[in-house]
Structure 1
Amino acid sequence: MSGEHKTTAVSGHNLPAQATSFVGRQEELGEIAGLLADPRCRLLVLVGPGGIGKTRLAIEAAAALLGDFADGVYFVPLQSVAAPEFIGPAVAQAIGFSFYGSDDPREQLFDYLRDRQMLLVVDNVEHLLPGGELLVELLARAPHVKLLVTSREVLGLREEWVRPVRGLAFPPGEGAAPAGSYSAVQLFAERARQVNASFSLEREAGCASAISRLVEGMPLAIELAAAWLRALPCAEVAREIQGSLDFLTTTLRNVPERHRNVRAVFEQTWNRLPAAEQEVFRRLSVFRGGLTREAAGAVAGADLPTLQSLVDRALLSVSPAGRYEIHELLRQFAAERLAAEPEVWAAVHQRHCSYYAGFLARREASLKGDDQVLALTEVADELDNVRGAWRWAVDEGLEDQIRDSMGGLHIFYQARSLFREGARAFDVAVERFQGRGSELLPALRLLQAWFYASAMDQNKLRALVDEGVAGLRAAGTGGTLAMALAAASWLGIEEAAPPAPGLPELYEDNLAAFRRAGDLWGEAWSLYSLGSLAWAAHRDEEARDLLQASRDRFLTRGDRWGSTYALHNLGLVLSRLGDYRGAVAVFQQSLRACQQVGDRGGEAFSLHHLGLVLGLREEHGLSMRYLADALRVALELNDDEGAVWHLYEMALALTRMGRHAQAIEILAQLLQVMEPGYERDTIESALAEAAAGLPADVVAGARSRGETAG
Structure 2
Amino acid sequence: MIAGGLSNREIAEELFIAHSTVRWYIRQIYNKLGAEDRDHAIVIAGQLGLHMQDESSDEDTLTRTIKNLPTQLNDFVGREQELRDLFAYAHNPNIRLISIIAPGGMGKSRLAIALAEYIGANATNTNQENDQLFHDGIYFIDLTSIEDQVEFIIPTIAEGLDYRFQQDGRDLKQQLLQYLQSKNLLLILDNFEHLLDKATIVSDILEYAPNIQIIVTSRERLRLTFETVYNIVGMTFQDNRITEAFLESDAASLFLQSARRIKSDFEFDPHEMYSLWRICGLVGGMPLGIILAASWVDTLSLGEIADEIVRSIDFLSSNVRDIPQRQKSIRAVFQNTWQRLSEPEQNILMKLSVFRGGYTREASEKIAGASFPILQSFISKSLIWHDKQHRYRMHNLLRQFAEHQLLTVGDIEITQQAHCGYFGEKLSGLRSQLRGREQLSALDSIEQDIENIRAGWYHAVKQEAIDLIEDYLKSLYYFFSMRSRINEGIELFSFAITSLTETSVTSNKRPLLGRVLARQGSLVHRLGHYEQAKQLLETALNVLEKAEAKDEVAFILNNLADVTCSLGDYNKAVQLIEEGLAIFQQLEDEWSIASTLNNLSVGFYRIGDLNQAEATCKRSLVISKRLDDQHGVATSLVNLGAFAHDLGKLDEAKYYYQASLNICEKLHDRHGIAAALTNLGRTSYMQREYEEGKDYCEESLSLCRNLGDLWGTTAALINLGDNVCRLGELQLARQYFRDAMQTAQNIEAYPLMVEILVSMLELLVIEEKYEKACKLLTSIPYSTFKDVETDNRIENIKLTLKEKLPGTLIAHREPFELPPIDTIIEQVFTL
Question: Equivalents in 1 of 2:340, 2:723: separation in Å?
Answer: 70
Which amino acid is the alignment partner of residue 563 of structure 1?
V
Question: Which residue of structure 1 lines up, in the alignment, with residue 363 of structure 2?
Answer: 295
Give CA-to-partner distance per residue, 1:494-522, whole Å, 9 cap, x none: 1222337973454233331453xxx5422
Normalised by the length of structure 2, the TM-score is: 0.52
**Structure-2 change in CA distance of 1:355 and 1:499 (3 Å):** same
Q: Please list the CA deviations of residues 568-599 of structure 1 after superposition, one character each: whole Å capped at 9, or x if unmatched.
A: 33332333344444433322221221222222
> 2:261 matched to 1:94?
no
Which amino acid in 2 is paired with 1:486?
Answer: N
- The unaligned stretches of length 5 or more in structure 2 are 1-68, 81-102, 115-235, 256-267, 306-315, 773-831
| Equivalence for 2:248 | 119
Residue identity in the other structure for 2:529: D
Distance in 2 between residues matched to 1:447 and 1:92, nearest whole Å = 33
Which residue is equivalent to 1:47? none
More displaced, 633-642 or 303-312? 633-642
Pairing partner for 2:633 from 558, 563, 568: 563
Once residues 445 and 403 of structure 2 are traced to their aligned partners in structure 1, the CA distance between those partners, rounded to angstroms, is 25
C-alpha spacing 1:538/1:624, structure 2 compared with 1 (3 Å) = same
CA contact (8 A) 1:611 1:625 kept: yes
Amino acid at match of 1:430: I
Distance 1:31 1:653 in 2: 49
1:603-661 CA-partner distances (Å, limit 9, x unpaired): 23212212323444xx212x541342231343366459656644532443466x6x5x4
* C-alpha deviation, 1:425, in angstroms: 0.8
Q: Does 1:572 align with 2:642?
A: yes
Indicate conservation of the 8 Å contact 1:453/1:461, yes or no.
Answer: yes
1:554 CA displacement:
1.9
Deviation at 1:489, TM superposition (A): 2.1
- Is residue 696 of structure 2 the alignment partner of residue 629 of structure 1? yes
5+ residue gaps, structure 1, are 1-22, 35-49, 62-89, 96-108, 126-134, 173-212, 219-256, 700-710
> CA contact under 8 A between 1:469 and 1:503: conserved in structure 2?
no
Partner of 2:584: 511
Q: Relative to structure 1, is the Cα distance of residues 367 and 138 closer, same or farther in structure 2, using a 3 angstrom cutoff?
A: farther
Residue of structure 2 equivalent to 1:551: 621
Given the superposition, is the C-alpha separation of residues 578 and 637 from structure 1 closer, same or farther in structure 2, using an over 3 Å criterion? closer
1:461 corresponds to 2:607: no
In structure 2, the residue matched to 1:266 is: 337
* Structure 2 counterpart of 1:336, from 373, 384, 404: 404
Answer yes or no: is 1:612 the counterpart of 2:679. Answer: no
1:317 to 385, 399, 423: 385
> Which protein, 1 or 2, shows the higher relative CO under an 8 Å CA cutoff with sep ≥ 6?
1
**Residues 317-370 of structure 1: CA distance to partner in whole angstroms, max 9, x if unpaired?**
32233222223343333323322343x321111110001112222233333333
Determine the C-alpha separation between the residues in 2 that align with 1:215 and 1:595. 52
Superposed counterparts of 1:407-556, under 5 Å: 407-434=474-501, 435-437=505-507, 438=509, 439-466=511-538, 471=543, 473=545, 474=547, 476=549, 486-497=558-569, 498-499=571-572, 503-515=576-588, 519-556=589-626
- 2:31 aligned residue: none
Aligned residues of 2:685 and 2:722 also touching (Cα < 8 A) = no
AA at the equivalent of 1:317: W
Instruction: Identify if the C-alpha distance between structure 1 residues 643 and 538 changes in structure 2 by more than 3 Å, giving closer, same or farther.
Output: closer
Residue 394 of structure 2 corresponds to residue 326 of structure 1: yes
TM-score by length of 1: 0.61
Shift of the 553–327 alpha-carbon distance from structure 1 to 2, 3 Å rule, reads same
- Between the aligned partners of 2:324 and 2:768, the Cα distance in structure 1 is 86
Alpha carbons 2:104, 2:334 under 8 Å: kept: no
After TM superposition, give the deviation of residue 412 of structure 1 in Å.
2.0
Give 1:350's match in structure 2, choosing from 414, 417, 421.
417
Q: 1:433–1:441: 8 Å Cα contact kept in structure 2?
A: yes
**Structure 2: distance between partners of 1:94 and 1:633:** 21
> Aligned residue for 2:352?
284
2:554, 2:584 within 8 Å by CA — same for their partners in 1?
Answer: no
Is this contact kept in 2: 1:442–1:475, CA < 8 A?
no
- Structure 2 partner of 1:102: none
Distance, in Å, in 1 between the alignment partners of 2:280 and 2:383 is: 30
Is the 1:369–1:557 contact (alpha carbons within 8 Å) kept by the matching residues of 2?
A: yes
Q: 1 CA distance for matches of 2:670 and 2:606?
A: 26
For 1:124-163, what aligned pairs fall within 5 Å after superposition?
Answer: 136=269, 138=271, 150=290, 152-153=292-293, 154-155=296-297, 156=299
Amino acid of the structure 1 residue aligned with 2:653: A
The amino acid across from 1:305 in the alignment is P
| Greater Rg over alpha carbons, structure | 2
Q: Give the aligned partner of residue 99 of structure 2.
A: none
2:430 is equivalent to residue 363 of structure 1? yes
1:6-45 alignment, distance < 5 Å: 28-30=74-76
Asked if the contact 1:299–1:348 (Cα under 8 Å) also holds between the matched residues in 2, the reply is yes
CA distance in 1, matches of 2:543, 2:379: 53
Structure 1 residue 668 displacement after superposition? 4.4
- % identity of equivalent residues: 22
Whole-Å separation in 1 of the counterparts to 2:398 and 2:348 = 13
Q: What's the offset of the Cα at 1:422?
A: 1.0
Q: Is the 8 A contact 1:489 1:499 kept in 2?
A: yes
SS in 1 for 2:389: coil
Superposition deviation, residue 294 in structure 1: 0.8
- What's the CA shift string for 1:206-246, capped at 9, x where partnerless? xxxxxxx9875x5xxxxxxxxxxxxxxxxxxxxxxxxxxxx
Q: What's the C-alpha RMSD, in Å, of the aligned pairs?
A: 4.6
CA shift for structure 1 position 490? 0.9
The 2-side partners of 1:319 and 1:29 are apart by 31
Counterpart of 1:690? 763
User: Is contact 2:574–2:604 with CA below 8 Å preserved after alignment?
Assistant: no
Match of 2:661 in 1: 591
Corresponding position of 2:105: 52
Tell me the SS of whatever aligns to 2:248. strand
SS at match of 2:608: coil
Residues 664 and 690 in structure 1, CA contact (< 8 A), matched pair in contact too? no
Aligned residues: 506
- Letter of the structure 1 residue corresponding to residue 240 of structure 2: A
